[in-house]
Amino acid sequence: MIGTLMIGLREGLEAALVVSVLLAYVRQLGRRDAAVKIWIGVGAAVLLSLLLGAVLTFGAYGLSFRAQEIIGGSLSIVAVAMVTWMVFWMLRAARGLSGELRGQVDRALLGGGWAVAAIGFVSVGREGLETALFIWATTRASDVAPLVGFLSAVSGILLAAALGWALFRGMIRIDLTRFFRWSGVLLIVFAAGVLAYAVHDLQEAAVLPGPFAETPPGAGPLLAAFTGDAAWAFRIPHLIAPDGALGAVLKGTLGFSPEMTKLEVIAWFAYLVPVMTLFLRASIAQERSIRTRKAAVERATAPSKGTP
């Protein structure tokens, strides 16, 4: 629930910021007709996202177990890739997002105005599709009921909508750079857990070597170390109950399970360590750049010492 709530809040706030910029700009231009078309595009994007979520949740039950695991593992990897791209993209685009959207609106208004609806649809639809896919993958990895995952995500989206409205009205101020940095850190941790579970799915489907298949005859020592009983990295359900509160929290946040294979652990570390390092390095460099620019502006605008 924590994971899906954070996903809904993070993605929802991104979408809310985009919509607020679009609406504020067309209102400034006096184009109320364009505002209506923006809302039409946003509504269509929300419906598409809900449709994708329904297909992911209910569309695979007629397939065999192996097919479901292959689809689940593959889509989970896609979700991890999309979220990873999103956190890095938002880190770079947050400061220039408003100007970019205003330029798109200016070009869209040259026609009949329906291109503005397309901007709203694409901007919100991208966030919505990412949200639907990652919530589905996170819910599967956490063994949370789909309805519970959906409701916690909706709670995050509603909170994001409220924050977006308050920002739009000037009622509150949020350091968005820091918000997207630390929410990005959390999402990277969640994504590592989803990737580990994707490996587990593919092992159950016998796409990857794992403990669910016997070691093939004549297998070399490397393959033998990742198949059969030797494939387990650890099995400690007697210490941490998989269905207990601690097990649920660890699985829902860190992707930790009391029974994990060597490939799951390798995938978790191979993703988390380099991606987190690159993200924090880029975030710190961005903050230093912002401070440097602010200091330069302050020096340029400050009166000289000889000025009376």
Q: What is the chain's mean pLDDT, rounded?
A: 78
What pLDDT, in 10s, does the model give residues 70-105?
888 888 898 888 888 888 877 776 655 556 666 666
Out of 86-90, 114-118, 201-205, least confident range = 114-118
Which pLDDT score, from 0 to 100, does residue 262 have?
93
Out of 98-102, 143-147, 159-163, 177-181, least confident range = 98-102
Q: Is residue 265 a contact partner of residue 249, using CB atoms and an 8 Å limit?
A: no
pTM of the entire predicted model: 0.74
Which pLDDT score, from 0 to 100, does residue 39 have?
84
What pLDDT, in 10s, does the model give residues 267-295?
999 999 999 999 999 888 877 776 777 77
108 pLDDT band, cuts 50/70/90, is low
Alpha-carbon distance of 126 to 41, in angstroms, equals: 12
Alpha-carbon distance of 260 to 203, in angstroms, equals: 11
Q: Dihedral of CA 167/171/173/179: which sign?
A: negative
Alpha-carbon distance of 148 to 121, in angstroms, equals: 27
The residues near 175 (Cβ < 8 Å, ≥ 6 apart) are none
Q: Report how far apart, in Å, the C-alpha atoms of 163 and of each of 56, 166, 246, 294 are.
A: 29, 5, 31, 26
Q: Residue 9 pLDDT > 60, yes or no?
A: yes
Q: Residue 110 pLDDT > 60, yes or no?
A: yes
Q: Which residues of 129-156 are buried (b: 16+ CB within 10 A; e: fewer)?
A: bbbbbbbbbbbbbbebebeebbebbebb
What pLDDT, in 10s, does the model give residues 119-129?
778 778 877 77
Q: Residue 14 pLDDT > 60, yes or no?
A: yes
